[in-house]
Amino acid sequence: MIIGRQGQVSAEFVLIVSFILIIILVFASFIGPQMEENNIISSVREGASTAATEIVYSNVSMQPIKLESIRVTGEKDKTITLVFDRPLPENYKPFVINRTIKSILDIGGSQLNYNTVKVGDRTYTIVV
**27-82 tens-digit pLDDT:** 888 888 888 889 999 999 999 999 988 988 888 777 888 889 999 998 888 999 99
For a pLDDT cut of 70, what percent of the chain falls above it? 93
Domain residue limits at 92: 5-127
pLDDT bin (cut points 50, 70, 90) of residue 5 is low
pLDDT attached to residue 88: 86
First to last CA, the chain: 78
110-113: strand order across its sheet: 67-73, 77-84, 122-127, 116-119, 110-113
pLDDT attached to residue 8: 64
**Nearest of 31, 47, 107 to residue 80 by alpha carbon:** 47
Say if residue 90's pLDDT is above 60: yes
Cα–Cα distance between 51 and 72 in angstroms, integer? 19
The pLDDT mean for the chain works out to: 87
Under a CB-based contact definition with an 8 Å cutoff, are residues 40 and 104 in contact? Answer: yes
Cα–Cα distance between 66 and 59 in angstroms, integer? 15
Q: What is the CATH number of the domain that holds 56?
A: 3.30.460
Under a CB-based contact definition with an 8 Å cutoff, are residues 122 and 36 in contact? Answer: yes
Q: How many domains does the chain have?
A: 1
